[in-house]
Structures are given as C-alpha cells and as structure tokens.
Amino acid sequence: MSLFKLTLKELQDSFTRGDVSANEIARSYFLRLSVVESKVKAYVTVNDKEQILTQAQAIDDELKSWRKTMPLMAMPIAIKDNICTADLPTTCGSRILGQFQPPYDASVISKFREHRFFSIGKTNLDEFGMGSSTEHSAFGPSRNPWKLSHVPGGSSGGSAAAVAADECAAALGTDTGGSIRQPAACCGVVGFKPTYGRVSRYGLIAFASSLDQIGPITKDVYDAAMMLNVLAGQDPMDSTTADVPVSDFTRAFKKKDVKKLKFGIPKEFFAEGLDSEVEGAVRQAIEELEQLGGKIQDVSLPHTGVAVATYYIVATAEASSNLARYDGVKYGIRAKDSQELLEMYRKTRQEGFGPEVKRRVMLGTYALSSGYYDAYYAKAQAVRTLITQDFDRVFDEVDLLVTPVMPTPAFKLGEKIEDPLQMYLSDLYTISASLAGIPAISIPCGFSQQGLPIGLQLMGRPFEEETVLRAARAYELVTNWRKKRPAIR
Ligand code: GLN
C-alpha cells in the first residue's frame, strides 16, 4: 500500500516499528505531489525535496544506533501560509507580503521542529484568511480533490485539499469564523478548532485576534487528537493562551460509545437556507449518535440569527487595525515612484491588497470610526456576549451540540465570488462557535448526489476538547465515511 494513503497514526505506527524509514516516507509524499499537485494546487510553496531528504537521512542514520522516536517524527505535515516559518516564505495569500521571510518560527512550528516533522510546504488560503473558497488568494484558487471544478472551501482550503488528496499526512489550519471546519467539510476530512486560548497564536499572522485559533486538519479524528497533543498548551509568548492542564487527548478514545452524553440539536441551525441533502445526512448522523447511546434533546440558541452580522463587525474591526501595519515600511512590497510618505502608503496598499481585504478594511474602519463606534462596534461586542450566554445556558443542559457545518456542499469555482453576502453565509453555522470561543469539530457524515462530501459539526464546552473528540471518534468508527477517498491520481 502507498504510504501516502495512511492516516497519521498508521504512518507513525509503521515508522515507530521500523517498518518504513524516514527516507521512504519523504519520497512517497514527494512522488504523490508530483502526480496531483498540478491539479489540486493546494500549496503556495512546496519545500525543497532535497532538503527534506537530507533531514530524512539524518533521522534514519541516528535511529540505527538508538531507536527513539517522537510522535511527529518524520511525519509529513502541511502548514497554512499565514503561520510564520523561518525556512519558508509566508505570504498570507497576499501580494502585499511579497516574498516575506519571517525571522522566526511560530510557536506551533517550533514544537513540530522539536519532533523533527517534515514540513512539506505552505498551503494556499484566502488572502489573510478572509474568505470561504480560497478564491481570494493572490495566487489563484486551490481545487476540491473530489471535483476539480469545485472550491475546497476556505480559508484553509489548501490545507484541507492537501489532506484530502494525500499530499500530506496532516495539516495546520486556522479558524477565525470557520476556516478550519468549513474547508474540512468541503473536502471530506476532519477539522478541529480548539477552544480559544488552547493553542498559541504566537507567529500566526493576525486577522482578528480575539477569534483566530490554530488547529489540525486530518484524515480522521484520532489524528486530530495526536496533533492537538503537540499543539496545545500555555505559551509565554501568547498571553491569551490559557493555564489549563493538557492531557493526552487520545485518552478520550478509551470509551467507544457516547453513553451518558447529552446532545443538543439547536433548532436555529436547521432553518431556512439549509440544503436538503445536507440536512438529511446530519439528521442521519444524529440517529447514529442516539444508537450509540447518546441522549438527543432539542435546544435553542436564540441569537444565532445575528451571529453573521456580529462577526462581520468584530472581525472586520480587528482586521482593519491588524492590517494597518502593511504600509510598505517594514514588511513586503513597497510601491515605487511615490513623491511623499502618504502617497507611498496609499499606493502600496492599493497595489498590495486584493478586493476582499480592501472591503473588510473599509467595513472595519467604518465600524470603529468615531460617531459609529457605539452604534456598530460596541453593539456587536454586546451581542457577542449574548451569543456566548446562549451557549453557557445550553451547556447547562447538554454536553455537546450537533449541527451542519455548511448550509450546502462545496460550490463551483466562480459561483459566489461576485456576491460577498452569499460567500459570508457559507459560515452561517461555524461563526457562533468562534464568537463564543468554544471547541468545534467538523467530521464527514455523507455525500451529496454529486459526490461531494458533507460535514457534521460537534461543539463542546470551553476546554472540553476531550468530550468533542470522544463523540466524534465514536461516530466515525461506526460509519465508514472517512474511508472513502477521492479518486484523483
Ligand atoms: N469565511 C470567514 C471569513 O471570511 C471565516 C474566515 C476564517 O475563519 N479565517 O471571515
């Protein structure tokens, strides 16, 4: 069997046992990339093959005398291109950063390096994470491995496509309003957004700092737990990381059922706009959870209807401030032929940012401007609290919430690019968990008649990642969705 088809856990087991060498793993993945990457276009930058092979050789040589491995040693992992890497350019899918080479690694990358992972490359994204299809990348869109005419979702579309097309064993994504979960659903893989504060954001280029979280995109739920084991934990470099103990998340899988767990079905997530095939698959999944011993209960999150509006004020306000630093002075490109400083700022931003980023900066600046601050930004913050309180209330009654991830399966390239509102509505079901900062996972739960994957979302209480993982794993083990792979070759 080809190594690139294995899950992270399977690959790690084979490597730990000594059945496969680091060299064989690296070669297998670069061969895979040479076959499918030109079709999928998951990566902005692919790492240098010779360099990875040299790392592989060093690992294999060392293991000859002393066989001590680390969980992610020699594991081929892809990194979303808004996470700083000292050895590869970090573009954020934007022209404005040019070939920016960060002078340091993000904390999550330093942790991976301690394990001696293989950094396969940097994956494509909507510019600065703003979008739901990767079509807003300055480097062109990635494709959905299930149907190349369709989007892979976004903004971590490159990471999800790379995992689905076996171009890496696992990937890192980032999620501000759904960008891990939504592309995972589109590509039929697992995407896990941890609790806000669980994983360090140091070295993650900021979009909306009160919402951004790094998390894994993987082939199954077990792999997500393995990745989280390395990613999670307090970091002195990020004061928003929480001082919460990190256990071995794979312990969650000791129990194979969901007996005693209560699942809430929020009625607002099954209202108008939900595609009937998606609803059918999700309802079927709810039945499976019940058969596994779970208790199903209808609940209400009354402020769901204003989540998208709230998000697009909070996120754009934070983005307008975070992106003020791209003025041609310190990072990336600088417009030529300017007579004075303001003109240089203006031209650089005019040339460097794409239309969606400009739209967000304008929206956010407006929401923060004096005279409108109270009407928009302050109001949105108050509503954000109401949304969080909705969750606090239902989590007194139930342990987990079950919903769709996306109102429809993946759409065609070009279908929504001219209609920002339609694009924004792709995140209707993922945004609430981001605003509330709670953990949420997307796992495959079926396929549309067109053969496109459908995702199921489970949301849990803050820092109860284990409960989310346990239920997700129990569900995936009794269904075989994860075993279906796209036919791309
Ligand atoms: N699609 C949403 C947006 O455009 C969420 C993006 C994200 O989570 N980075 O803002």
pLDDT digits (tens, 9 = 90+) for 108-156: 999 999 999 999 999 999 999 999 999 999 999 999 999 999 999 999 9
Tokens linked to 174: 């980032």
Q: Distance between CA atoms of 61 and 59, rounded to whole angstroms?
A: 5
Read off the pLDDT of residues 393-436 as tens digits, 9 standing for 90 and up.
999 999 999 999 999 999 999 999 999 999 999 999 999 999 99
For residue 356, give the ligand 1 atom closest to its CA: 4
Q: Is residue 67 scored above 90 in pLDDT?
A: no
Q: Distance between CA atoms of 126 and 154, rounded to whole angstroms?
A: 7
Ligand 1 pocket, mutate which of 130, 156, 310 (most atoms under 8 A from CB): 130
- Which single residue is written with the structure tokens 């009654």? 397
CB atoms within 10 A of CB 247: 12
Instruction: Give the distance from CA 432 to its chain's centroid.
Output: 15
Q: How far is the CA of 198 from the centre of ligand 1 (A)?
A: 19
Among the listed residues 130, 144, 247, the one whose alpha carbon sits nearest the alpha carbon of residue 188: 144
Q: How far is the CA of 131 from the centre of ligand 1 (A)?
A: 5
Ligand 1 pocket, mutate which of 81, 82, 94, 126 (most atoms under 8 A from CB): 126
Q: How far is the CA of 423 from the centre of ligand 1 (A)?
A: 10
- Which single residue is written with the structure tokens 């084979």? 14
Query: Hey, is 43 helix, strand or coil?
Result: strand
φ/ψ of 427, rounded to 5, equals -105, 15
Q: Which CATH architecture has domain 3-256?
A: Alpha-Beta Complex (3.90)
Q: Which residues line ligand 1 (CB under 6 A)?
A: 129-132, 155, 175-179, 207, 315, 427
For residue 208, give the ligand 1 atom closest to its CA: 9
Q: What is the pLDDT of residue 319?
A: 98
Q: How far is the CA of 174 from the centre of ligand 1 (A)?
A: 9
Q: What is the pLDDT of residue 26?
A: 98
- Summarize the confidence of residues 476-487 as an average pLDDT: 94
Q: What is the pLDDT of residue 489?
A: 77
Any idea where the domains of the chain sit in the sequence?
3-256, 305-381
User: ∠ CA 139-141-147 to the nearest 5 degrees?
Assistant: 155
Q: What is the pLDDT of residue 68?
A: 86
What is the identity of the amino acid at 399? D
For ligand 1, atom 10, the nearest C-alpha belongs to: 130
For residue 423, give the ligand 1 atom closest to its CA: 1
Percent of the chain topping pLDDT 70: 100
For residue 129, give the ligand 1 atom closest to its CA: 9
The residues annotated with a catalytic role in the active site are 80, 155, 179
- Sign of the CA dihedral with 61 first, then 64, 66, and 67 last: positive
The strand order across the sheet containing 262-266 reads 43-46, 118-123, 76-80, 170-175, 213-218, 190-193, 440-447, 453-460, 400-404, 262-266, 295-299
Crossing angle of the two packed helices 307-322 and 379-397, in degrees rounded to 10: 130
- Summarize the confidence of residues 322-341 as an average pLDDT: 94
Q: What is the pLDDT of residue 1?
A: 60
Q: How far is the CA of 177 from the centre of ligand 1 (A)?
A: 5
Tell me the average pLDDT of the chain. Answer: 97
Ligand 1 pocket, mutate which of 127, 132, 434 (most atoms under 8 A from CB): 132
pLDDT band, very low/low/confident/very high, at 470 (cuts 50, 70, 90) = very high
Q: Distance between CA atoms of 123 and 85, rounded to whole angstroms?
A: 12
Q: Distance between CA atoms of 126 and 489, rounded to whole angstroms?
A: 25
